[in-house]
Amino acid sequence: MENKIALVTGILGAIVSYMFDLVGVAVSILILFMLADYITGLVAAGINKELNSRVGLTGFARKMYILVLIGMIYALEFTASHYAEFDIFGGYIGDGAAFAYIAIEFISIAENGVKMGAPMPPFVKNILKIVKEKAGLKEEGDQNENN
């Protein structure tokens, strides 16, 4: 389910980027979401006494990998359009990928909020429940359902 959300968000993000000519803005937004996810993850781990430097470093490394991957998508689009005279939507595929990861980061931020016991709007709880059910996972917030 998370992959489907990312796919739809990525396609819509590429379209929005094309419509408003905002190539590259999605990466700035992604970095903001990644920072928020990392910080909320640290806070949730601290509250639950689960802080682990190895887990934190692994999470950071994954986020850096995602940024490198998206950078490579932009580089391929640039190379194709400028050197091979083959325009692949002028950077909008990179923006689409960034928007897909923004959706994934949002889900993770919401999950971190549940782990912290923070109040969560019902529609966000429903989205998380659907994603976890589709992924075949037990919902994190089951024991904190009354929050």
Neighbours of 24 (CB within 10 A): 12
Position 1 scores a pLDDT of: 62
- The separation between CA 67 and the C-alpha centre of its own chain, rounded to angstroms, equals 11
pLDDT of residue 37: 96
- pTM summary value: 0.73
What is 73-117 written as a DSSP string? Answer: HHHHHHHHHHTS---SGGGHHHHHHHHHHHHHHHHHHHHHHHHHT
Please check whether residue 37 is in contact with residue 108, taking contact to mean a CB–CB distance below 8 angstroms. yes
Query: How many other CB atoms sit within 10 Å of the CB of residue 26?
Result: 26
Question: Are residues 7 and 100 in contact, defined by beta-carbon separation less than 8 angstroms?
Answer: yes
Identify the pLDDT of residue 36. 96
pLDDT tens-place string over residues 20-56: 666 678 888 999 999 999 999 999 999 999 999 999 9
The domains of the chain are located at 2-138
Residues of the chain with pLDDT under 50: 139-147
**Cα(105)–Cα(81) distance, integer angstroms:** 30
- 145 CB neighbour count, 10 Å cutoff: 9
- Read off the tokens for 22: 């905002």
